Amino acid sequence: MMRFPGKTLVSAAALLALSTLPSFAADKIVLRSSDTHAADYPTVKAVEYMSDLLSQETKGRISIKVFPAAQLGEEKDTIEQTQFGVLDLNRVSLVPLNNIIPLTQIPSLPFLFSSTEHAHKVLDGPIGDEILASFAEKGLIGLAFYDSGARSFYNAVRPIKTVEDMKGMKIRVQQSDLMVGMIKALGANPTPMPFGEVYGGLQTHAIDGAENNWPSYYSTRHFEVAKYYSISEHLIVPEALMMSKKTWDKMSKEDQKLIREAAKKSVLKMRELWQAQEKVAYDAVVKGGAQINTLEKAPFIAAMSTVYDQYVTNPQMKDMVARIRATK
Ligand code: GTR
């Protein structure tokens, strides 16, 4: 997969996007959306499905153009672009929003959700809405959560079976203080790094490992350079689909409603695509030589629990964690 981590290229692409800002005066609105994943990844397909729905509803008046493969930059940069209104829509993991929007840290806590079903129950309900609503303070409109399976550790050195096996390992994390804390809690060395740099980092041994779900482990071909995948499933953290508040405020109430509805409908499409892709990815990495092991989770749960004290800092957050645990 081609990526463009270089700053110059990224800003050139962003400038290009700027020069083609959607014209709200004209009768057609083409919203620009970013995704770090390649064109065939479920998240990209789901936003394209949303575009089809919008286009059908409005007889072609509103649609979305997705720029995949980090063409417009890595997640941290595109989040800023979305806040500034350079980008209209953005699909990112919830994790790179952690340092900007405090409530996004809650679903990013290790071992909080017991299963995908548990996560769906919480995120489809009032707690999910509360988290999405909190995006608005930061110039973003939270539209929906997408599935992202469970993240587990993988590395190029050895299978991880115990917490001790993590000691001293350099593990890449997404750009979030919470993730840094999580890896430190295991006695490993966290290295925050953009997604597109991980393959090179593993190849050159700048890092020993990373953590992600099956489809990302596969699509990035990280399994080629970090073959030990240890099923820790420490994070069931969703993806977020959001809109720039600047774009949102320019739209009519009716169009805003159409956008919200199409986004919600795309969630179901995403779930279908995701389930299929998890299986495809798993089979492909096994075939590609990944060495997979399961581990006993209890010691990891215990070691990582310290991040709750460190990052769940105010009464609203504490209350939300309690409500999530009480959701059955
Ligand atoms: C993937 C996620 C991406 C990106 C990536 C990462 O699972 O879908 O949006 O956040 O992880 O680790 O950077």
Listed residue (234, 109, 237) closest to 166, CA to CA: 234
Rounded distance, CA 38 to CA 235, Å? Answer: 22
Q: Closest Cα to atom 8, ligand 1: which residue? A: 93
Can you give the pLDDT at residue 81?
A: 98
3-state secondary structure (DSSP) of residue 152: strand
Each residue of 261-285: pLDDT tens digit?
Answer: 999 999 999 999 999 999 999 999 9
> Which of 134, 142, 137, 169 has the alpha carbon at shortest distance from 155?
169
8 Å CB contact between 220 and 123: no
The two three-digit tokens of residue 291, written as one number: 């060495």
Q: What pLDDT shows up at residue 135?
A: 98
Amino acid at 24: F
Residues of the chain with pLDDT under 70: 1-26
Please give the distance, rounded to the nearest whole angstrom, from the Cα atom of residue 24 to the centre of ligand 1.
32
Element (H, E) at 89: strand 89-93
Q: How many CA atoms lie within 13 A of 255 on its CB side?
A: 20
Give the mutation target among 91, 174, 202, 229 for probing the ligand 1 site: most ligand atoms within 8 A of CB: 174
Sign for the pseudo-dihedral over CA of 44, 213, 183, 143: positive
Tell how many helices (H) and how many strands (E) occur in the chain. Answer: 13, 11
Q: How many residues in the chain?
A: 328
pLDDT digits (tens, 9 = 90+) for 2-59: 343 333 345 555 555 555 555 555 589 999 999 999 999 999 999 999 999 999 999 9
Q: Ligand 1, closest atom to CA 151? A: 7
Model pLDDT, residue 43? 98
Q: Report the pLDDT value the prediction gives residue 27, as an integer from 0 to 100.
A: 83
Phi-psi region of 298 (alpha: psi -120 to 50; beta: other; left: phi over 0): alpha
Q: Which helix (H) or strand (E) holds 136?
A: none
- Atom index in ligand 1 nearest the CA of residue 211 equals 12
Q: How far apart are CA 168 and CA 95, in angstroms?
A: 23
Q: CA nearest 239: which of 202, 195, 283, 208?
A: 195
d(CA 110, CA 105): 10
Distance between CA 213 and CA 196 in Å, rounded?
A: 15
Ligand 1 pocket test, pick from 34, 36, 77, 92 with the greatest ligand atom count within 8 Å of Cβ, gives 36
CB 78 less than 6 A from any atom of ligand 1: no
